[in-house]
Structure 1
Amino acid sequence: MTNYQRILVGVDTSPQSQLALEKAVAIAVETGARLDIVTVINTEKFIGITQGPMGFGATTPQMLDEMTRQLKANLVKSRQEAVQAGVSDVAVHLHSGNSKTLLATTLPAEYGTDLIVVGATGLNNVSRILIGSNASYIIRNATCDTIVVRTDLQQNPIELPKRLSRQV
């Protein structure tokens, strides 16, 4: 295997990203690489499509604060998992902006990433056409190796339910 030095893994709270984290941690332990665990709040997707107390509408500041709190807690948990598994150099990052470009090009260039690990999409075909897949974009645009996780740590195929939209 290539001796990766710096791995970037994109996480949210989905089962797919948990599997990507597990795979990235295993690779980091095996290669001794630094692990950057990244969550991107893609605010572009939330404006005008979020269901609030009054129906569908713009995301409220309170909703964004709660989502940010949950994502920060998930980053802390993800870092603890990596450290407990034996990764000695772990950093967590929370960004906002376009998740596709941040994960595919901007952050890898900034961090010196030589491997990106992401989960396979959990969106159904209709949503994938309307929203697009981060994994597909990263594969097409990244300038370093990219792994889209579709198996567990024992290389068994995973089957995850398809959703219309991502959860927080």
Structure 2
Amino acid sequence: MSNYTKIVVGTDGSKSSMLAVERAAAIAAAFDAELVIGCAYYESKEDANKTLRQDSVTVLGDDPAQENLNKAKVEAEKVGAKKIVTAIKPGTPVEALMAIVTEHDADLLVVGNRGINSLTGRLLGSVPADVARQSNCDVMIVHTVTS
């Protein structure tokens, strides 16, 4: 197994995404890696409405995104992560996560499985499936949603 040095995890503030943050934080703690917690947001309702897929919580504006990151950072610290960085990006969750992975030269991306087994996810794709296809680093899909 590789020795991960930079781990990216996405959060939208949901319970599911916090489970992914906890798993990523535990891995970061085990490898003494930097944990980058990212949150995507839409700049306007019009931007949010343009997306066909609704498999993640819609974060409208950078203030709610920052609140999500603050909560996620606290959870990551509880699990033992020491080196934590946060990143906010406008756009879809997939676009934002891919940009954060690239900017931070991450070697692991952790996401929850929300949307992967839904009808919409099967027809239009899901955040976990799309990032797994697009990512240049390892991707861990954490089992955070049972149905």
TM (normalized to structure 2)?
Answer: 0.80
**Alignment-derived partner of residue 121 in structure 2:** 128
| Partner of residue 73 from structure 2, selected from 60, 69, 79 | 79
The percent identity for this pair of structures is: 33
Kindly indicate whether the alpha-carbon contact (under 8 Å) linking 1:37 and 1:75 is maintained by their aligned counterparts in 2.
Answer: yes
CA offsets 1:123-146 (integer angstroms, 9 cap, x no match) = 763322565311101111111100
Bigger radius of gyration:
1
Residue 111 of structure 1: how far off its partner (Å): 0.4
1:1-168 to 2 correspondences below 5 Å: 1-42=1-42, 46-47=48-49, 64-65=60-61, 68-104=62-98, 106-122=99-115, 125-129=118-122, 131-150=124-143, 159=146, 161=147
CA contact (8 A) 1:36 1:92 kept: yes
Q: Which amino acid aligns with 1:35?
A: L
SS at match of 1:64: coil
CA distance in 1, matches of 2:131, 2:32: 24
Residues 72, 94 of structure 1: 8 Å contact kept: yes
Instruction: Give distance in 2, aligned partners of 1:74 and 1:107.
Output: 16
Give the Å deviation of 1:86.
2.3
CA distance in 2, matches of 1:22, 1:139: 20
Give the C-alpha shift of residue 14 in structure 1.
2.1
Rate the CA distance shift 1:69–1:34 in 2: closer, same or farther, 3 A: same
Q: Which amino acid aligns with 2:93?
A: S
1:150 aligned partner, one-letter code: H
Structure 2: state its 5+ residue gaps: 52-58
Instruction: Give the match's secondary structure for 1:121.
Output: coil
Task: Give the TM-score normalised by the residue count of structure 1.
Answer: 0.71
- SS of 2:64's equivalent in the other structure is helix
Which ranges in structure 1 are unaligned for 5 or more consecutive residues?
A: 50-62, 152-157, 162-168
